[in-house]
Amino acid sequence: MTEDEDDLHAEAEALRKETAADAPELAEHDRVTELEQQLEEANSKALYAAAEVQNVRRRLEGEKQQASAYAAAGFARDMLAIKDHLDRALAAVSDELRADATAANFLAGIEATARELDAAFQRNGVTRVESKGHMLDPHKHQAMVELPTTEVEPGTIVEEMQAGYMLKDRLLRPALVGVAKKPE
């Protein structure tokens, strides 16, 4: 071996020893990097979980508001049948019967009951669907019959067979209507 080769071997040996001495430091550096990545991943998962909890909370609050706003829908539908009966009873009373003093007192009580029911509906957001004279809206009206006429535009409601009602912005019951059609 020449002197140059000996120098190279010595240099290589020194480099090997230096690298071996740095190896625990490199392994420690890799471990720190790995732990930093795990910490970043755990933070990311924690943020995701917090966002998910926030979304669930918002959704539940919205559902709770919806449930409380429309909780009376079933009861209101049941009360509509009573209103229909009262309206039919009042519509069936003749002028002769209204002239009778005893019947007039009885009718005044029925009319007061109907007004009180209307007021209760109004206080709770139950409103009547506008029908007669309006265009058919399949979201609020149910066409039961088509009536030929030239007096109004086809598709216009000319007769209401049963009133429809809304609870706030939801349909409780569609109005049953007769719709104008072009005569043949």
CB 177 within 8 A of CB 144: yes
What pLDDT is attached to residue 17?
72
Q: Where are the alpha helices (DSSP H) in 92-175?
A: 95-99, 101-123
Q: Which pLDDT score is estimated for 24?
A: 59
What are the residue ranges in the chain where pLDDT is below 50? none
Angstrom distance (rounded) from CA 11 to CA 75: 95
133, 109 Cβ separation under 8 angstroms: no
pLDDT at 132: 94
How do the domains of the chain map onto residue ranges?
1-69, 73-181
As a whole number of angstroms, the distance between CA 168 and CA 151 comes to 33
What one-letter code names the amino acid at 61? Answer: E
In this prediction the pTM is 0.63
pLDDT digits (tens, 9 = 90+) for 38-74: 999 999 999 999 999 999 999 999 998 888 778 788 8
The pair of structure tokens assigned to 27 is 């392994």
- At the top level of CATH, the class of 73-181 is mainly beta
Across the beta sheet with 126-128, the strand order is: 126-128, 165-167, 170-173
